[in-house]
Amino acid sequence: MWSSLPSFVAVYPETILVVVASALVLLDRVVKFKDVFTWITLATVAVTLGVVYWTVGTSFAFSYAADSYALFFKTIFLLVLLLATLISPGYGRVVGIHFGEYYGLMMYAVAGMMIMASAKDLVLLYLGLEVMSLSVYVLAGLLYSDMRSLEGAMKYFLLGSFASAFLLLAITYIYGLTSSINMEAIANYLGTHGLLANKALLFSLALFAIAFGFKVALVPFHMWAPDVYEGAPTSVTAFMSVGPKAAGFAAMGRVFLLALGTAKVGWTHFLIPLAVVTFFVGASLAVVQTNIKRMLAYSSVAHAGYAVLGIIAGTKEGMSATMMYLFIYALMNIGAFGIIILLRQKDFLGESIYDFQGLSKTHPVAALLMLVFLFSLAGIPPTAGFVGKFYVFRSAFEAGHPLLVIAAVLASCIAAYPYLRVVMLMYMRPPEKEVTLNLTGYLFTSLAISLTGVLLFGVWPEPLIHFARLCCGLAP
């Protein structure tokens, strides 16, 4: 009757995040000096990271696994939380979102992402997705006196709920076919019963592709991205351009490679056209943007297209390349958003690309940092962006998709233009506006971490590659 308690070790990291987040949310009224919340968040990131490494290999029944695959993604999520927390205080004080709930919501979102990365059960996966999404919807609408922020949050909420419905329908079909929601059981059933010609299975695969496509913003399910990225507070944009995307890829990897691995032929049919359209449309639309946040939104759409190549490859090699790509993307993208935040003043948005005009004359160091991050986003060696792209492309090439890789390389040529245009404006035009920097110690630390990561992994990527391959179960 009174069964003994199972071990809760596998969910310790998530528990810590939720407990601390709840405490921050409740304490906000009492604490007047809001920087305390930043410190607590930073300390929690450190503690959680330690616990994540300590709990590797544990599992919670058959539905939740703190395995090495989840370990890598949780490292990405905590890196994103760390960098996003560090860029927040200075910006938060300017726009008035420097309070406990802000940090609490980010932690709730990261807890949801961790659940997504660890879930081996489709319903649990959905639950993690909702925890993450609901927190991010609220974060996107935090500047509720600004119509753009409200519009973005509303769009994100409506389209995100729509995508969740797709995910649920896909899970329903899989359950109907295999009578299981556990990923390993589904994989076993599909392996032994050969349902590959089943129309319902194909339909379910398409629904999964659509649901994840919404979450990681693949064309044509990217419509929400530019408006949300533009409207949301910039620090939140930095957070959500990487965190939920990485979580979406974590779930995609588990579902497509583990649960539906035998149906690979089916889902590559859906993902290949999505990827091709994504990196071409993302790159081309980034060219015409003059708002830098919108430009980075379309660039993040294109980057999702490159990252999906590793999943299409369908090998462990490919998955490890995607994971490494997301890690590097976190460093360089939050770095670029950090520079945008650096320019933000009370009465100066610093969001038009023409605000960067002549930055090298007035603030050479800031311009140089932006140059490095933009070069990395464009994939120019010796920055980390090149390494990430190289491994993703190589894995897709080795898996037998040479035409796809050629298309991706062509698209990344187009995608280089918007980045280089900002560089051109910074270095080859005279300054027009008076730009003052809003530098805090936190932001400085964040930029230093990003810069170190981008340059270090650009010239010495071995440790990261080994780590990613190890986490995918490949011998180093």
Q: Minimum distance from CB of 28 to other proteins (Å)?
A: 8
| β-strand partners of 315 | none
Exposed/middle/buried for residue 42 (C-beta within 10 Å: 0-12, 13-18, 19+): middle
**Closest to other proteins by CB, 29 or 346:** 29
Q: Does 161 bind other proteins (CB under 8 A)?
A: no
Using the contact rule CB under 8 A, the part of the chain among 24-32, 69-77, 151-159, 450-458 near other proteins is 24-32
Q: Tell me which residue has tokens 């971490």.
A: 449
Q: Which of residues 25-54 bind other proteins (CB under 8 A)?
A: 25-26, 28-29
Q: Minimum distance from CB of 419 to other proteins (Å)?
A: 42
| β-strand partners of 119 | 64
Tell me how far apart the alpha carbons of residues 33 and 48 are, in angstroms, rounded to a whole number.
24
- Cβ-contact 438, 343 below 8 angstroms: yes
Using the contact rule CB under 8 A, the part of the chain among 2-10, 177-185, 190-198, 335-343 near other proteins is 2-10
Q: Minimum distance from CB of 84 to other proteins (Å)?
A: 22
**Closest to other proteins by CB, 1 or 475:** 1
- Cβ-contact 12, 48 below 8 angstroms: no
Tell me how far apart the alpha carbons of residues 126 and 122 are, in angstroms, rounded to a whole number.
6
Phi, psi (deg, nearest 5) at residue 5? -75, 140
Cα–Cα–Cα angle for 379, 116, 387, rounded to 5 degrees: 15
Q: Which of residues 3-22 bind other proteins (CB under 8 A)?
A: 3-6, 18, 22
Q: Does 1 bind other proteins (CB under 8 A)?
A: yes
Q: Minimum distance from CB of 8 to other proteins (Å)?
A: 9
Tell me how far apart the alpha carbons of residues 19 and 16 are, in angstroms, rounded to a whole number.
5
Q: Which of residues 72-111 bind other proteins (CB under 8 A)?
A: none
**Closest to other proteins by CB, 30 or 475:** 30
Q: Minimum distance from CB of 108 to other proteins (Å)?
A: 11
**Closest to other proteins by CB, 25 or 334:** 25
Phi, psi (deg, nearest 5) at residue 345? -125, 175
**Residues contacting other proteins: total by CB under 8 A:** 12
Cα–Cα–Cα angle for 93, 94, 100, rounded to 5 degrees: 30
DSSP structure class, residue 220: T
Q: Does 346 bind other proteins (CB under 8 A)?
A: no
Using the contact rule CB under 8 A, the part of the chain among 23-31, 77-85, 127-135, 201-209 near other proteins is 23-31
Q: Minimum distance from CB of 23 to other proteins (Å)?
A: 9
Tell me how far apart the alpha carbons of residues 114 and 74 are, in angstroms, rounded to a whole number.
6
Which tokens sit at 126?
């959905």
Q: Minimum distance from CB of 15 to other proteins (Å)?
A: 9
Positions that interact with other proteins (CB under 8 A): 1-6, 18, 22, 25-26, 28-29
